[in-house]
Amino acid sequence: MKTKLLLVLTFIVFTACSESPVETKTSTTIIDTKIDSIQAAKKIVEVVNAKIHKEESIAIEVSAPSGANLYTQKCASCHGKDGKKSALNASEVIAGWESSKTQGILKGYQDGTYGKKMKNIMQGQTKPLSKTDIKLISDYISIL
Ligand code: HEC
């Protein structure tokens, strides 16, 4: 009877001991898997963030500076970088002019319905400009 009890006890201890490493292994595997997924998720977030950031900077590059670029390339030499110069001492200071006013005047130079003494110069300047160019430049001048 005593031997039988001892045997049962030994069996219990044995099973308890043998089961525990298996359990530990299983939970370690689960934790490992979870860590893997967390790291994978982090990576995805990083990639998405990088993508969003890149798209933002591309959008800014495409939209924002075009009016500024056009103005700097085509107008600043006479009207000043900040639009506060009287071009060849013959024009008004155009910085801060309302966009619609500038657009009307630039179109006027294009079709010959607007101009003062030195209109020939501005006719040459406005000839190559598209409607969009005129809008972009005029919007930019309005914030100078
Ligand atoms: C070569 C010098 C020169 C450049 C470059 C130039 N302008 Fe002018 N701008 C003038 C002169 C000179 C006048 C005055 C013309 C006149 O007598 O009507 C003038 C007039 C203007 C006026 C009307 C101001 C007024 O007094 O009625 C606007 C608006 C204007 N320019 C915008 C622009 C824009 C926008 C650009 C670039 C696309 C540009 N200009 C490029 C010389 C220049």
The pLDDT of residue 10 is 46
102 lines ligand 1 (CB under 6 A): yes
Residue 27: exposed, middle, or buried by beta-carbon count in 10 A (0-12, 13-18, 19+)? exposed
Q: What is the pLDDT of residue 88?
A: 97
CA distances from 79 to 58, 62, 90, 133 (A): 29, 25, 10, 17
Q: Whose CA is nearest to atom 36 of ligand 1?
A: 75
Determine the Cα–Cα distance for residues 91 and 105; give it in Å rounded to an integer: 12
CA-proximal residue: ligand 1, atom 8 (nearest): 122
Atom 34 in ligand 1: residue holding the nearest Cα: 75
Q: Which pLDDT score, from 0 to 100, does residue 75 have?
A: 98
Residue whose C-alpha is closest to residue 124's, from 96, 87, 98, 94 = 87
| Cα 25 to middle of ligand 1, angstroms | 80
Q: Whose CA is nearest to atom 21 of ligand 1?
A: 91
* Atom of ligand 1 at shortest range from CA of 105: 29
Angle at 34 between CA 40 and CA 52, to 5 degrees: 25
Please give the angle made by the CA atoms of 141, 139 and 63, to the nearest 5 degrees: 115
Which pLDDT score is estimated for 33?
A: 73
Q: What is each CA distance from 91 to 68, 84, 86, 119, 126, in whole angstroms?
A: 20, 10, 5, 10, 15
Nearest of 50, 92, 75, 84 to residue 136 by alpha carbon: 75
Say if residues 84 and 95 touch (Cβ distance below 8 Å).
Answer: yes
* Tens digits of pLDDT across the chain (144 residues): 555 544 444 444 444 555 555 556 666 776 677 777 777 777 777 876 777 676 666 555 554 459 999 999 999 999 999 999 999 999 999 999 999 999 999 999 999 999 999 999 999 999 999 999 999 999 999 999
Q: How far is the CA of 86 from the centre of ligand 1 (A)?
A: 9
